[in-house]
Each structure stands twice: as C-alpha cells, then as structure tokens.
Structure 1
C-alpha cells in the first residue's frame, strides 16, 4: 500500500526545520477536511498553517438539503455519507459536539441511535412487499459458494469486469442482490469488508446514525471545528493549475495557480510545504427538476461544466491515473434521486399506505421489479428538524433512469416529479385517486457522476495516494487506489487522508486497515 513506502518528505516536525510551513489542501471534499483534522491531531500542525482552497462560497454553502414545505424539499440523499468504520469514528471522536459541552460528535451519533428500532427492509415480491426479518435473513449455500469462489479470484482478473459475467442469472433474482449491488472489483472488496454485516443487515444502520441531516451534521461540524482551530478557509476559490519543479529530487510542487472571486493569483509552494489534492467529484453536473418539469439534460455530457475537482485532475493526468475513465462514462455512472414532500398525512397512515405494514420504524423499500430499479426510504425521524408537524419527507432513487418506466412510458430522466410519483404509487399498488398524489410535491435530481468511483477500471486508472513523481504531493478521496479497501463509504476518503498525512509528515504510525471477511465467513462456518 502507498502508506507503507518509506517517506520521501522529511519529518516537518523535526526541530532542525526552523520556522513554519504551509499545508495546501485542494478541493471541496470530506477527504480535505479529514486531512486538516489529521494534520492538527496527529502531526500537531497549527491550524493557521493549513489552507483549504475550495469553491464553496461559505461554510454553510453546498448543503445536501434545500427547499421548504411549500415548494418541496430537495434532499440529495444519494450522496449521504455512510458511517461504518473505525477511521471515520476516530475523526468524529476528535470533533467536539456543538450542542453538548464536553461531548464529541461521535457521542451525538451514538446518542441519536439510543432506543431506536432498526430500519425495516421491504423487497418487492410480485405485486406485494415482503418485509425482511433481519434475524431470519439468510443466504443459500449455493449463493454462498458462488460468492466464495468469486472472492478467491485475484483483483486483476476482475478489472473492467461486470458482475453479470461472474454469476448465474438466478443470483440476480436473489434477495441478497436486491440489497447489495456494484461493479465486480468493488463488489469483491465490499464482500470482503462488509459480508458479516449482512446477517443483521447492519449496512442499513447508517440510515439511523445521524440526528437530523447527515451531510450537515458531519461536514458542518468538521468545518466549524477547523475554523475554531484557525484553519484558513479560502472560499469562492479554485486551483486551476499545479506547477511542478522537476529539479528537486524526484520533483516537487512549486506553485499553485488559483482564482478567487474572479481574480487570478499564483501561490508559491516551497519544497517543505505539502499539497493534498482531492480529485473528482460525484456531484459534478448535478441538476434538479420540479414537480412539473424534469431535470435539465444540458449538463449531462458537458465536460466543460466539470467542477474544479475534475478540472484539476484532468490537468494533472497522466501522472495521476486516468480521470477520463470516470468522468466521461455518464451513461454508466448516473443516478437519479427524488425527494417527496407530503402534507396532511400522519406517519403511521403513510407507512401503512405505502408498505401495507404497521411497522413503527423507518422503512426502506426496494422495488426490484421496477424498470428504473426504484428504492424508497421512509424515515421515522425527519431529516428536516424545522418542518411543520403535518409534513412528511421521503426520498428515493432510481438506478436505471435511462430506461422506460413500467407504467409511465418514458425514461425516468425525462420525467417530472409528479410522473415519478405516479410510477412509484402504481408499483406500491396505491390508487392514483388517493389524496397522496395531489398532496405531494416530488423534486427529481439527476446526478450524472454519482457512482463514478464504482465504475470498472484497470490498475493505473486510479491515482496512488502518494505520487512517485512529486515529493510533496498526496492525492485523497473516493477516487484514489487503496488495495482491498472499498470506496463505497466515507471511511475510504478518511482513511486516504490519514495515509497521506502520515506519509507526508513522516509519522511512524500504522494506518488501521479495515477488517476483512474470510471465505469461512461467507460459507457460514
């Protein structure tokens, strides 16, 4: 792994290095925020030495939830971070709570789970929904054997492979597949990392982990903590070019060209400075619609509309992988989400109407017979703390928005919010004469690159965390290569940030690898 290499960068905390240095963190991402926290926590770097250059206009800009009860909420729920591993938990333990004195953000996360029933899972079976009992959830021996054989394959044999090449058709009709799907290499990594959680469906515990708004509760708290530490946030800025001086050892970043509020400047970078870059962005090109108008398709293939995280990576290649493999395959990486705002229906009545169940907890419905492969999440607690009591907010997504609907005979990406609601209700066997249709506002959001980190790839398409050609540069985030680690959760970004800081700062610390499931776990012994 990249973090196991001997550091090329000197230990910047060594007393022989008198004076300060600068840490330049490029791009808006959780990985950038995590890098800053690790610099402060593990390397004792003063906050004022750390500079985050990002396009957000302010700390509260770019939040995942917008809208109101009258015009409808837009909850970009599909980019909701997953809390599932030790690295992200360590970060949250470092960030103080903004509401409880003496507590941490992790304390708040754990407190929010107390006394809550786990999310119920419903899977479409014919014209009905079947609730999956976590305690009785099982995978047949035949499926387990197929999974075990798949796990034993070397990753190199799976590159550019699609999962349908490795399993029989019956596998894709299984409940297991209805719960979990991805591309071949990433699926293998997810199996090795998360298989033990399928027995209790703990993969869905992430839906219950944050108090109100997952993105805001995480990113907002990390940002406020860093601002309190004196970190220099350069908002409304983006780096447009990186200059590398090839004469310094194996090369070193010597300058950054960036724009701020329309003005262009050059930042000089010394060989002792460090630069940490976040390439790529899953929300680039995102566009929303309304209850009566579908999302615009204008930005779907427009490479000139890519955000700064992509532009910077495109300018830095080919030394840092192949960004074109991830940003141009929008027909494979796009996903469409939708947020439904419903008035004048109580939660219990809504749940019974949609699931035909009296279950009192949050519910996740997987409509596996839907041409769009729709999923719907009905939260027991609202992600919108200031909403009126008579308003319920649901969210969902479609994995195949380019396909024609089963009932609405056109692609999902060309449907208005109301048309998506009509398709959903008919799958759930709810009459279109029911008041829910006219009492709801559905806001669709098309995200052309949301699953880009999961696309098939070959070795070398993803950059390593530590560049072999540049002594003071590291790359972090969802698109970096970390052997055996899955990029399906936020922990991948945080772990990459930890590895980058430990290497660049010359820290003799081990990166905690995630636990892996064994073949015996898969077979059930």
Structure 2
C-alpha cells in the first residue's frame, strides 16, 4: 500500500525543519505524526496557511445574531482506520484525560445519539410529503448486472468514462441511487472509476444505506470537534502556525532529483513577499488544490456570487489552484512539471463540480419540534433526509443540538444542500444558485409542507456556492492526479484530495489523513506505516449482507 520508497537522505529528526503548506486536515495530521511517529521537535514544524484559521474545508463558524455557517458535513465510520488512529493521539477539549477518538466513541455509543433514519427519502405525495419505503433498493436485474460489471472491471478499462455510460436511465431513479448519490454526493456525470472505488470501499454500508446506522457523528460540528482540538494540541506542543501567508511557488535544486530549496510566499494582508530557504535534510509537504476554494456566501436576503471562470480559479485568495498550476506548468517549472499532474482537469469544469449548501440558524423551536414529529427522529438521529422530487435534489441534516461550542440553548442549527443548484425550484420560481437564504428556506418548507410562520421570520439561512466541491469526482486520466511522493523527490510530498492513493476514496477525511501518514512514513523513514485500506469485500459475511440488500 505505501508507495515505492525513493532514495531519500537519512534524516535526523532533531535537524529537520518541516514546512507544511496549507492548514487543512492533511497538514494538521502530518504535523501530529511528525511529532508522534518521527520525533521531529514541534517548534521545527511550520504550518503555512493563507487564511486566518486552520481547518481548510473542515470549517464551521458564526454566531446566533448573524447566523452560523457550515460549508459541509462529513461522514465518519469504523473503516476510517487512519483518521481514528490520528484522533486517538489528540486530547479532548472537554476532558484532556480522554482522546478525541474516545469522545466520539462515547458520543455514538449513547442510545439517544444512535443514527437510525426513519425518513431517509421523501417523495411528493398528493396530500404532501410522503416517506418512501427504502427497505428495498428497487434495482432491476440489469441494474444489478451493471453494478457488478463496474465493480469488477479494472480502472484502466473504465478509464475516463462517466457513471451514466454504464447504466440505463431508470437506474438513476432507484432508491439505491437516491440514497447513494446523496450520501456521497455523486452525480451521473462523475467518474466511473471513483464510483467503482466507492462500491468496494463502502460495501459494508450497503445493508444499512437506508438507515445510515453505520455513520459516526462528532459531538459538535467537525471544526469544533476535530480541527480545534488538533490545533490546540499542536500549539501546546510548540508547532509554529503562520496564518495569512500564501505560498506562491517552490524552487528546486538544479539536479536530476527533485529537491525543494525555496518556498516563496506573500502576506495576505500587505502583499509583501518573502522566501524560506529549505535545506536538503528539511521536508516540505504541499496540499494541492481545494474543494472549497472560491466559495461564495450569500445571506438571508442575497444570493451567492456566480461561478468563477477557470482563470479566476487561479486568482482565488487561498492560492491553492495557483500554486498547483505553477508546479504543473512547464514554463514555471521546466524541470519537474510532469510529476505534478493536471490541475486544469479539476478546476476548469465548474458546471460539473459545483453544488450549493446552506446553513440554517433557528431562533424559534417550532421547526425542530415539527420536524422531529414528522420524521420520527429526534435531532441528531435521522442523518440525511433527501427530497427525491426536488428539482434541486435537496437534502438536509438536522444534527444533535447544540452543534457549535458557542451555541446558546435557545438556538438550533441545521445544514443542507442541493446537488442541482441551477435547476428552477418547485416552490420558488428561480434557480437555487440565484436564491437568497430566505428563498431557500421557503423552498424547504414547501417540500415539508410546513407553515412559513413562525419559522421563516425567525431564521437565518446562509447559502454557500462551492464551485469545485466535487471536482475530485470528475472523470480523469491516469496521471491527472500526482503521487504523494513524486518520482525522484528527496524532500517533497503532496497532500490532499487531488493526489493518487491506490484503492482509497476521495471526498473523505480518511483520504487526506492517509496521504499525510504516507508522507511522514516515506520522507522520515518511520517504522509505523499507515494501516491498509479497509476491504470489506474480503469478509464473507459483509459480502453476503451486501448481496442480500442489492437483491431486494
């Protein structure tokens, strides 16, 4: 599973300076494992982040007066072996005697927090919304044959083809697809290779896809429950965080081997530039691209900004696409550009990679009370609710309350998204992308057949357009995603959602953490290797249970 070992120079941890470009979960995980596994002194680990806070796409912020914002939520489960290994090293914020992993385990073990969705898919009925019976997948014999074909075919044969090239149109109206695509955010035009990987990676979830009983939740949103504890831990150890600092390029030694010698940066607030000298025994980890770059927030009364052009992607404030583009550009990097993949494949196709999420801050308990009664689920136990007849293909998640550390008792927060934001709504006669937060809430209340008052005037809904949110799922060719350790690299590793890791699945926290663990193991020569990707298909019981569900 770990990639082929390059001829890296022997490193003495006490002499190493580690420069981690990007402050997302990949860099935070790398810093943790550099301390714990490689024994690099914490004050010699430098996290360089273009924004004012760590976390990258795992963000969460706000206040009751102006509204809370979550651009996304993440599914965790027992198969996230690398992620749970990481969280077992981090002290809990609420009780330092426990780890974050123990905190999550205890939270999910509590009977009142267990996920068991009673209203997973909702259809439009004659008298209002109807909860669909999802005990059956609704797959035809041909659908099953097509699923088996995609699952068994090689990635090379599937190539850069789309999911909808392998299935009949009726497949995309089955219970299976409505639950699968909204659980993982797949769309019919996404990569068949990524779909195949998910079929293998999450085969253990087939029997409970209709209840989402295998999903682990964090006590609060994932910024407060995961990112904040890791940041506090690393700062307490002495890790150097450099915020509002955008890395613009790297320089390499004039040798056949790939050795970073300089990191060029600019301060976000002043525009002043500088550089960091990197010694051959130092290491540099660079997170490539960003699924939430160029995100645009609307308000309760305004819509988000339009989708950016491909050129605007490279001028985003975070600099993530600009840096990757510079590394892969033969003019900017004539030596090693071919080792950095093809970023343009992922940032130039926003019509295929965008969707829109929204966060609702409720100042009146009426909505949650009515929702719990209607759905049969207490807040935090129902997981994802999908409105299959929504033109926007809208889904919502009503989590356990409070969802933020600073959330008052009289405030509730929930999150949702639409996979088709450029379709015209069923109740609001305009595309979701052009709607204000209040208009999105109006559409949701229409699908639920709930009264507008008092909810509409006692809530703040903040929409977030994300142009590249599923760009990792786009069709791609071999080589479009670079390796974690580029060929010939002596001190550079690449992290994040756009690197290539055999068998594992993008759009998961696990993917970023695994890349970080691989990088630390390879460049520091640690004894501890990342654990192998969980492979449920090697378990006969898992296979049989999955088959039974697919035959329903």
Q: Same fold (TM over 0.5)?
A: yes
The reply to whether residue 308 of structure 1 matches residue 319 of structure 2 is yes
The reply to whether residue 374 of structure 1 matches residue 384 of structure 2 is no
Give the Cα separation in 2 of the matches to 1:421 and 1:264.
Answer: 44
Q: Alignment partner of 1:4: what SS?
A: coil
User: Aligned residue for 1:257?
Assistant: 264
Give the Cα separation in 1 of the matches to 2:83 and 2:211.
Answer: 15
Matches within 5 A, 1:345-384: 345-346=365-366, 349-352=369-372, 356-362=374-380, 363=382, 364-384=384-404
Deviations 1:129-166 (A, max 9, x none): 32667xx5657573444322210111122232221111
Among candidates 414, 426, 438, match of residue 446 of structure 2 = 426
Change (3 A) 1:259 1:51: same
Give the Cα separation in 2 of the matches to 1:471 and 1:506.
Answer: 12
For structure 1, the residue ranges without an aligned partner over 5 or more in a row are none
Residue 44 of structure 1 and its aligned partner are, at CA, apart by 1.4
Change (3 A) 1:215 1:310: same
User: Aligned residue for 2:130?
Assistant: 129
User: Aligned residue for 1:339?
Assistant: 359
Residue 436 of structure 1 and its aligned partner are, at CA, apart by 2.3
Give the Cα separation in 2 of the matches to 1:39 and 1:145.
Answer: 46
User: Aligned residue for 1:292?
Assistant: 301
Residue 110 of structure 1 and its aligned partner are, at CA, apart by 1.1
Deviations 1:414-443 (A, max 9, x none): 1111211222222222344x4322332221
State how many pairs are aligned. Answer: 513
Q: Alignment partner of 1:106: what SS?
A: helix
Among candidates 60, 65, 71, match of residue 70 of structure 1 = 65
Give the Cα separation in 2 of the matches to 1:206 and 1:55.
Answer: 36
- TM-score, length of structure 1 as denominator length: 0.90
Give the Cα separation in 2 of the matches to 1:58 and 1:169.
Answer: 44
Change (3 A) 1:330 1:203: farther
The reply to whether residue 40 of structure 1 matches residue 40 of structure 2 is no
Matches within 5 A, 1:12-161: 12-13=11-12, 20-58=15-53, 64-76=59-71, 78=72, 80=74, 82=76, 84-113=79-108, 114-115=110-111, 116-120=113-117, 121-127=119-125, 128-130=129-131, 136=135, 140=139, 142=141, 143-161=143-161
Deviations 1:277-332 (A, max 9, x none): 10011111111111111112274652343222222111100330011111121111
Q: Alignment partner of 1:371: what SS?
A: coil
Give the Cα separation in 2 of the matches to 1:69 and 1:452.
Answer: 32
Deviations 1:77-100 (A, max 9, x none): x25464551100000011122221
Give the Cα separation in 2 of the matches to 1:224 and 1:291.
Answer: 33
Deviations 1:380-412 (A, max 9, x none): 423134434333222100011111222322211
Give the Cα separation in 2 of the matches to 1:476 and 1:428.
Answer: 41
User: Aligned residue for 2:275?
Assistant: 266
In 1, are the aligned partners of 2:15 and 2:281 still within 8 Å (CA)?
Answer: no
Deviations 1:57-92 (A, max 9, x none): 35599973333333332222x254645511000000
Deviations 1:171-209 (A, max 9, x none): 211111111122321111111011111212399468652
Matches within 5 A, 1:110-259: 110-113=105-108, 114-115=110-111, 116-120=113-117, 121-127=119-125, 128-130=129-131, 136=135, 140=139, 142=141, 143-181=143-181, 182=186, 183=190, 184-201=192-209, 204=212, 209-247=217-255, 249-259=256-266
Change (3 A) 1:464 1:176: same
Q: Alignment partner of 1:468: what SS?
A: coil
The reply to whether residue 450 of structure 1 matches residue 451 of structure 2 is no
Residue 215 of structure 1 and its aligned partner are, at CA, apart by 1.8
